[in-house]
Amino acid sequence: MIYRLLSFLGAFILFLFEPFLGKVLTPSFGGGASVWLICMLFFQAVLLGGYAYAHALGQRVESKRQLTWHGALLLMALALMGWAWLRHGNPLISDVLPEPGQGVATLLWTLVGTAGLPMIALAATSPLVQLWYVRSHQGHTPYRLYAWSNAGSLGGLLAYPFAAEPLLSTPIQGILIFLLMMLFTLGIWTLHRGSGEGSPLSQPDTTSALDEVQTATDDGQTTCKPASPFAPWLWVLASAVGSMILMASTNKMTMEIAAIPLLWILPLVLYLGTFILIFDAKWELGRGWWPSLWLGLFAASAYLFIVAQPDSKHQVLMLLVGGSFTTFAGCMVCHGFLFELRPAPSGLTRFYLLIATGGVLGGLCVALAAPFAFDRIYEFGYAMLGVAVIGILSALRLGGKKGNLAAVSALAGIMAGGFSLWQEGRGSGIYMRNFYGIIRVIRVKNLLELTNLKTRHGMVDLKNPENPLAYYTPDSGIGRALELMMSLKQQMKVGVVGLGVGSVVNYGRKGDQYVFYEINPLVVDIAGPESKVFRLLRNSKASVEVVEGDGRVCLEQELRQGRARNFDVLMIDAFSGDSVPWHLLTVEAFQTYLRHLAPDGMLVLHVSNPLPVDRITLGSAKALNLYGAYMLNLKVDQLHSESDYIVLTRDAALLNTPIIHQRLVAGVGPKIYRGESESSARVAFLNADKPWHDDRNSLSQLLFKQSALKEITRWNVGHKPSPEAPSASSSLPQHGPSR
């Protein structure tokens, strides 16, 4: 049992470690592509390094000393974490984290210094524990422990976003990981004390890993047969294809549906689940008729995934079901084939090293090579073809009727992969791609539109390019905020986080200054001042500046340089897509925005989003004693998009104008204040959520909450004033419960 617990706990801690580090470092380094790439490469390098260390330890250190070496490594990692705790008050979070805007080298050094050693020690756990198990339980298969390891990975994957993140601040999370590391190290040393001289664990294993393949029997015993000389290459291939189908289907699901946490967790849960089912070996799911079943399910679900059309009312359901079963069935094919080619126990560290190598190669193909090589999600079709190739290899291995049926099913997979590539290439418009995803420029008659496949980011009427369209019309929250400020000031300074096509600049007058912060260099090329595609910035009457980089990081850098912008209007337009950059919604981020605002300035947040980011925005407003107006534009046609805006200010008088009241659905503030217009919309009390902070926030919580707008609507429906009653619009209520 101790072997199972150690396998589970080591993987569990590792899968807490990875998202924790990303959480801690995001406010300092932002959401840049280089940040994502370096973190991804670091985590993959750590996993590969841990497996390489396990292989070297298993091959070059005598059995009775391996536990001592590994225990010493864990103690060293704990000592470094303990020293950090004494110096900084936390074992994993330094009080001298890099200032925002630091480069890639600083990020890599921070990752290595914070977690390099403990993560390598944890990554090495699974192969080492299996190696020790087989030497203390001669004749038994160790591979079921890999199922326990993947169960631990699955537990950590679910525990972090749904338990640790919402319940604990990041400093407490760091302490929890340290305590779990102590418990894990204690388990290793407990195992060490039971492996003294004469213990089976201290005996060498003399089985040749290169000449034999292990097969489990029903009673848990093992038999061996000659191994194929190509087996190591096939291990790498099967692992790489499994990794590719996971990442490619995840890319397609998040781009076609929404980039919300549940949609990238779901495929990864299924991926880990296939390892658990296969390596547990209770039902031999990689042999007999099973490969044919998995290949048939793979082809059918992939077809369902591919043919889901945007105009279908069942599109989301088809994408969810098709994408999930494509991932599950494809990984069952790959991992079942991998398990059937597993080596004798003495070769397991080499086996896992090559599995990790394949996983890294597959991940790099999708995450690194595909954005350079393809302008669309072609990697999904190629990953499908890879699964079909593994299916054909399985068919050749099976032979007979079972092999023939598997071959037919694999041919169906090849046809589905080819259809996917053809279907992907049919889309109209100009596609461009980088690490931030795919953007498309499409022209329909006189309308030129920019999208990221799922979300419209802006559009221009080529006959009347000076008219702001989509979310930025004069009736929108930003349109009315700019109209109000233009009525008060002869010249104004406007900041915008998120460029889109630059529609906001159409409000600019001669003498006005507009500063855009944009993280995606492709968008800067397409819509920036030098662009020949979207020319709004190029032809603007106002002076225009574009700052490339993460909005929050750039604003904080400017403050450190003594360059407070003193904006009259600062618009945060980074939430209109399906993803949520959480570090732009925290109280600390709002404090940065306010430092860049003029005393009578207005902070405008575009909160149109499938997730209830409006609740978090209002929570931060409450924490900072800001007055706010929730503004909704329901006019929807080809040129106008429904938009939700929250306008915040230190001065309530700015909001007490007909311009604001005409689109007002709720007013909030630290105390009751009066409206000036009897014609302004009815307002409701609003129950704002607890504000997010850099060290305490959780995206997963948004999955289970309704938007503030829905609560406001429900309140207004239940509180219609009688004809004789005075208008509810005469007072804009304070923060408080809606009931």
* pLDDT tens digits, one per residue of 648-684: 999 888 888 888 877 877 777 776 544 444 433 444 4
Choose among 501, 460, 494: nearest CA to 478.
Answer: 494
Contact residues for 388 (Cβ-Cβ < 8 A; gap 6+): 295, 410, 411, 413, 414, 417
Torsion angles phi and psi, residue 31, rounded to 5: -110, 30
pLDDT at 534: 93
Distance CA 291, CA 300 (A): 14
> Which pLDDT band, with edges at 50, 70 and 90, does 726 fall under?
very low
**Is residue 222 scored above 60 in pLDDT?**
no
Amino acid at 226: P
Cβ count near 105 (within 10 Å): 9
Which regions of the chain carry the CATH code 3.40.50.150?
A: 468-732
pLDDT digits (tens, 9 = 90+) for 363-375: 889 888 888 899 8
pLDDT at 259: 58
Element (H, E) at 568: strand 567-572
567 - beta bridge partners?
A: 597
Angstrom CA distances, 38 to 103, 403, 693, stand at 11, 43, 25
Residues 6+ apart with CB under 8 A from 307: 318, 423
Tell me which CATH homologous superfamily contains domain 468-732: Vaccinia Virus protein VP39 (3.40.50.150)
**CA dihedral angle for residue 555, residue 561, residue 565, residue 566, rounded to 10 degrees:** 110
Give me the residue label for tokens 């699964």.
Answer: 387
CATH of domain 228-427: 1.20.1250
pLDDT digits (tens, 9 = 90+) for 626-643: 988 888 887 777 788 888
Quick one: which of 440, 388, 380, 449 has its CA closest to 414? Answer: 388
Per-residue pLDDT, 527: 93
Residue 492 — φ and ψ, nearest 5°?
Answer: -145, 160
Burial class for 68, CB neighbours closer than 10 Å (0-12, 13-18, 19+): middle
Among candidates 688, 664, 691, 668, which has minimal Cα distance to 678?
664
CATH class of 1-196: mainly alpha
- The band of 101, judged by pLDDT with boundaries at 50, 70 and 90, is low
Phi, psi of 414 (to 5 degrees): -65, -45
Residue 717: which of 730, 732, 728 has the closest Cα? 728
Sheet order of strands, 430-434 included: 430-434, 437-444, 447-451, 456-461
Closest CA to 458 of 496, 423, 490: 496
Quick check: helix, strand or coil at residue 586? coil
Which residues does 212 contact at the CB level (< 8 Å), separation at least 6? 224, 225, 226, 227, 343, 344, 347
Lowest-confidence region among 38-42, 163-167, 306-310: 306-310
**pLDDT range class, residue 202, cuts 50, 70, 90:** low
pLDDT score, position 298:
92
Give the C-alpha distances (Å, rounded to integers) separating 506 from 514, 674, 732: 10, 32, 31
Q: What is the CA radius of gyration of the chain?
A: 29
CA distance 20 to 184: 18
The segment(s) of the chain belonging to CATH 1.20.1250.20 are: 1-196
pLDDT tier at 437 (50, 70, 90 boundaries)?
Answer: confident
Which one-letter DSSP state was computed for residue 114? I
Strand partners, 648: 603, 628
Checking if the pLDDT of 685 tops 50, the result is no
Band of pLDDT at residue 134, cut at 50, 70 and 90: confident
| 351 compared with 219, residue with greater pLDDT | 351
DSSP-assigned states of every residue in 247-295: HHHHHHHHHHT---HHHHHHHHHHHHHHHHHHHH-SS-TTSTTHHHHHH
